[in-house]
Structure 1
Amino acid sequence: MKRLKTDRKEFHRTLRLFPYGYLLLQFIIPNGSTTTSTQLDAVTIYSILRLAISQSLGTIGGANASVNLDILNIAEEGVTIRVPESELKKVWAALAGFHVSLESFNLDNSSQELGVVVMKSGKVLQSVVRPDRTWSPPS
C-alpha cells in the first residue's frame, strides 16, 4: 500500500512582543484601612496616577508627557490600568509606594493621606485580572 504524500505545514506563532503592560492598583489610607476604588471617580484616580508619574519621571527630562495611561477598570478589587510595555517598569516604580495628601484633591477626608499599592503587574491582561492560583495536594 502506498502512502499519499501531503504537503501539510504546521503553523506556530509565539507572542514575543507585547504592546502593553497592565497593573492592578489598590488605594490605601495609611491607618491601615483600604479605600475602595469605587469611592474615587475616574478623574481623581487619573490625576493621582499622573501626579505620581510626574513626580518620579518628571525629574528625568519630562518623560511623563510621553507615558500613555489608560484606566481599564475601576472595581472593589482595585484599579486596572494599561501602559505601553516599554514604560511598564518605570510606571511600576513611580506608583509603588506613592502617597499623596487628599487635601490636594478636595476630598471629604482631606486630613488623611492616600497611598498607592501595586498589587499585580504583567504583560498580559489575564495575569493581572484573574484570581491567584492556590495549590493544594491531591487528596
Structure 2
Amino acid sequence: MDCCTPSNNLKTSKTTSCPSCGEKGKSVPLITLKSLLIASFLETIEPDNTYYFCPNPSCNTVYFSGTHSQTFEENALKVSVFQKNSGMGVPVCYCFNWTRERLFQAISDNQRPIEQIKKHVQSNRCGCEVNNPQGACCLGNVTTYIRSLN
C-alpha cells in the first residue's frame, strides 16, 4: 500500500488543538518525526506519545504532542515546511521535489505536474510519511497551490 492511498490517510484523521494557536492538528505517524527531526530534537521525542501537525501558517509550532508536553518548531526539522514557509524554493511535493518555483514554471510552460506526480504515486514511488512534514499525501497541497496560480 502506498502513502497516498485513502486508507493510509485515515491514520491522520485524529485531531486535537495546537497549544500555541488553538488550530486543529492532524496526527502524524511517529516515523515522520523520526525521519524529519534533526538529531538533537529527535533525542527528545517520547515514542509512546501521539504527535500532531499544526497547519496554521502563522503559528511557529510544526508538531506538538497529544499531552502538550512537547512542541517542535520549523528549526527542529531537516526541511522547510510548506505551510510555514512561503519561499519559492520550499517543496510542495516533498517526494519528487516539486517546489513552488518548479510548479509555477511548469504551469507557465503548460506542463501538467499533477499528472506527473500521480503517475509516480500510482507506481508506488512516493514516501510522504517520511518526506512530507504533514506525514500524509501532498497532492492536496499541490492542487491547492496550482489553483492559487490561476
Give the TM-score normalised by structure 1. Answer: 0.27
Higher strand residue share? 1
Between the two structures, name the one with larger relative contact order (CA 8 Å, sep ≥ 6). Answer: 1
Higher helix residue share? 2
